With several copies, the nearest count.
Chain A
Amino acid sequence: MLDNNDLLMEMQRRMLRIRRFEERVIQLVERGEIVGAAHSYIGEEAVAVGACLALRDDDWITGNHRSHGHPIAKGGDVNKAMAELLGKSTGFCKGKGGSMHLADFSVGILGESGILGSSIPTAVGAALGSQLQGNDRVAVPFFGDGASNEGAFHESLNLAAIWKLPVVFLCENNQYAVTSSFKKMVASENISDRAAAYNIPGVLVDGQDVIAMYEAVSEAVARARAGEGPALIEGRTYRYFDHSLGLNRIVRDPYREDEEVEHWKQRDPIIIHAKLLLSQGIATQVELDALESEIAAQIDEATEFARQSPYPEPSALFEDMFANPIPLE
């Protein structure tokens, strides 16, 4: 088992950073400081963190609508993330993207897509770039169980497979697409089974176990860097909250049992990993408490930063459409 203590602590740090960030987001949504649609990543932290810590800073990721966790896991700036959610000019995207379109190209985050499956080909293209440029940068598209039913999934896996591109397809199977269970919507038992159709490895991983995620992705990344082609990894996980914050107000029929939700909360990735850190003597309770306060301070600072930041000027409306601008009306 993994014996890099700094790495094991960093896993906890990033998972906790995501958790506390998302808890703050919930407050800000309730307060009306964050508008539009916000999809909570709480419960799924181990997937993004395990995967992103298996990557280099210069590797690429793409995300989806539920993507506050991915940029944080990849090392994106929390201040800019929070500012973006508040629509401020200091955000990743100058306030133009918001919750579903976080992106930080400076740390390899090629951006998130609110349209399902849409950013999977983008990641394949980044990997094609690596191949053409002769470097070994790997691309990891994050997408859900529901998105694996989009045609883009099929086309992308086949394309990456025949060209042996360095892509690790990462399906976050939180078992529901809005109210639809993947058991009803996905014909195969596991999404990882679909790898067989492309002659690539398909691995089902416990998405609540950050170390398991880290190891599975590390192996796939090693293969990809070695030019052996793509892999499909399914992180079996769970979202604690409704599909999007506030949606429970309009979803009429319950689509999952309270017992099920409870069962999964018992397998909370952050608690599991904390127990391990303590039991293995990698961290003391005091150190974990210190981590808590470190993160709390970061989130407070990010919130302050976002609140203090200015909104974009009206003149920003027509900026950023083109690298080589043209008259726009």
Chain B
Amino acid sequence: MTQVQTETRDITLTQALNEAMREEMRKDERVFIMGEDIQSGVYGASGGLAAEFGPERVRDCPLSENAFMGAAVGAAAVGMRPIVESAFCFMWVAMDSLVSQAAKMRYMFGGQVNLPIVYRASLYYGGSMAAHHSDRSYPIFMHIPGFKVVFPSNAYDGKGLMKTAIREDDPVLFCEDRTILGSRAFVPEDDYAIPLGVADIKREGSDVTIVAIGGMVPRALDAAETLDREGVSAEVIDPRSLVPLDKQTILDSVAKTGRLVTVDMAHKTCSAASEIAAIVAMEGFWSLQAPVQRLGTVNVHIPFSTALEPLCYPTAESIADAARTTMS
């Protein structure tokens, strides 16, 4: 990924996701998008697709998330490949369609049906959106069997992972983190897909392993810079998909460094960071030379005030501190 800096064609994560959807929709007419106000592209990544593919394949839906997220299941069951645009905060009203149908159907019917659905879930945290609009609940979809959970941290991964998600024959929960949607990276014009379950080492290091997710990755990389200046060599791992999770890359890194910091923007308790900490405590125990450090969002709902919200999330500084703790 170091070429990102050097290459020319830098586009944003939003543009990369848009490009991936556009290319896949051109290739496969079974692919269509459902969501709210997506024809006008209010929320970004679907922008302009209606102009090319029309209102049938880029469908504005009424505010009936449980029905249209459930309709995606039925459409997939009869051979379509729906993409659903939404956000974690709007999925509570649709949990039954997501859990009872999308996640359970294939298994409970003995594998009679494939459900190629991409549920695109935005995370609006960090923008003074307050408690109702700042949900980051992907650990819930890790806990519930049946979803593949994908979380890109940059535009390059975004395009490749979105293509894989659209081609996948299983329900995929695709996380879109608004804190990095505008960040740019080199994205080739050509067609490439990034497999699920393959973590990416964003930065190599030998003293401490930092596993960071989505928008936490750039913060972890900043922390690694700071640590570097202090003579601490941090390895930064981006799982890229949480289901399936590339345990081995994490365990190999910890075997090398002996130290682990897990960073998550979800609430700490029962988070992805907790899960990764648990896995290493089980399977990487003998490599560990210091207590695991788990960072996550504090266990309160997201307050509106700019005086409070920034205190909720891990920062480059708190990540660096956690790494220092593992070193002492």
Residues of A within 8 A of B (CB): 35-37, 60, 62, 84, 87-88, 91-101, 103-105, 110-111, 113-130, 132-133, 137, 139, 146-147, 149-152, 154-156, 158-159, 162, 177-180, 184-186, 243, 247, 250-253, 255, 311-312, 314, 316-324, 326-329
B contact patch SS: loop
* A2 and B57 alpha carbons, distance in the complex (Å): 41
One of A132, A151, A247, A311 near B66 (C-beta < 8 A): A151
User: In the complex, given contacts A113-B100, A177-B36, A185-B63, what are 9 additional A-B residue pairs having Cβ atoms less than 8 angstroms apart?
Assistant: A99-B304, A103-B109, A115-B92, A117-B63, A118-B101, A125-B77, A128-B75, A177-B37, A326-B197
- Pairwise interchain contact B40-A159, C-beta atoms closer than 8 A: no
- Pairwise interchain contact B64-A252, C-beta atoms closer than 8 A: no
B156-191 Cβ-contact flags toward A at 8 Å (1 or 0): 000000000000111000000000000000000000
Shortest beta-carbon distance, A289 to chain B, in Å? 36
Shortest beta-carbon distance, B54 to chain A, in Å? 11
Interface: B72 (CB within 8 A): yes
Tally of B interface residues using CB under 8 Å: 83
Residues on B with C-beta less than 8 A from A37 are 129, 133
Shortest beta-carbon distance, B98 to chain A, in Å? 11
Task: Contacts A159-B62, A252-B47 given; indicate if A132 touches B32 (C-beta within 8 A).
Answer: yes
* A92 and B130 alpha carbons, distance in the complex (Å): 14
Residues on A with C-beta less than 8 A from B77 are 105, 110, 122, 125-126, 129
- Pairwise interchain contact B93-A150, C-beta atoms closer than 8 A: yes
Q: Chain A residue with minimal CB distance to B77?
A: A110
Interface: B303 (CB within 8 A): yes
A-B contact pairs, 6 of them (CB 8 A): A98-B130, A99-B130, A100-B133, A117-B93, A317-B311, A318-B300
Residues on B with C-beta less than 8 A from A152 are 66-67, 70, 93, 96-97
* Residues of B133-162 contacting chain A, CB below 8 A: 133, 145-146, 148
Residues on B with C-beta less than 8 A from A159 are 61-62, 64, 67-68, 71
- Pairwise interchain contact A318-B42, C-beta atoms closer than 8 A: no
* A35 and B126 alpha carbons, distance in the complex (Å): 11
* Residues of B198-249 contacting chain A, CB below 8 A: 243-244
- Pairwise interchain contact B71-A95, C-beta atoms closer than 8 A: no
* Residues of B66-114 contacting chain A, CB below 8 A: 66-80, 89-90, 92-93, 96-97, 100-101, 105-114
- Pairwise interchain contact B62-A324, C-beta atoms closer than 8 A: no
- Pairwise interchain contact B108-A101, C-beta atoms closer than 8 A: yes
One of B36, B75, B106 near A322 (C-beta < 8 A): B106
One of A60, A96, A133 near B108 (C-beta < 8 A): A96
Counting chain B CB atoms within 10 Å of each CB, which of A87, A158, A319 scores highest? A87
Task: Contacts A95-B305, A158-B64 given; indicate if A121 touches B101 (C-beta within 8 A).
Answer: yes
Q: Chain B residue with minimal CB distance to A118?
A: B100
Task: Contacts A122-B101, A123-B74, A186-B62 given; indicate if A97 touches B110 (C-beta within 8 A).
Answer: yes
One of B75, B243, B308 near A316 (C-beta < 8 A): B308
The 8 closest A-B pairs by CB, nearest first: A125-B74, A121-B70, A98-B304, A87-B305, A36-B128, A155-B67, A125-B71, A320-B111
Residues on B with C-beta less than 8 A from A60 are 74, 78
One of B41, B62, B63, B106 near A320 (C-beta < 8 A): B106
Residues on A with C-beta less than 8 A from B312 are 317
B23-42 Cβ-contact flags toward A at 8 Å (1 or 0): 00000000010001101111
One of A126, A147, A320 near B75 (C-beta < 8 A): A126
Residues on B with C-beta less than 8 A from A154 are 64
- Pairwise interchain contact B112-A324, C-beta atoms closer than 8 A: no
Shortest beta-carbon distance, A252 to chain B, in Å? 5
Q: Chain B residue with minimal CB distance to A87?
A: B305
Residues on B with C-beta less than 8 A from A162 are 62
- Pairwise interchain contact A324-B170, C-beta atoms closer than 8 A: yes
- Pairwise interchain contact A124-B70, C-beta atoms closer than 8 A: yes
- Pairwise interchain contact B42-A180, C-beta atoms closer than 8 A: no
Task: Contacts A121-B70, A122-B73, A318-B298 given; indicate if A87 touches B42 (C-beta within 8 A).
Answer: no
- Pairwise interchain contact A326-B244, C-beta atoms closer than 8 A: yes
- Pairwise interchain contact A150-B80, C-beta atoms closer than 8 A: no
- Pairwise interchain contact B37-A178, C-beta atoms closer than 8 A: yes
Task: Contacts A101-B304, A130-B78 given; indicate if A323 touches B112 (C-beta within 8 A).
Answer: no
- Pairwise interchain contact A127-B74, C-beta atoms closer than 8 A: yes
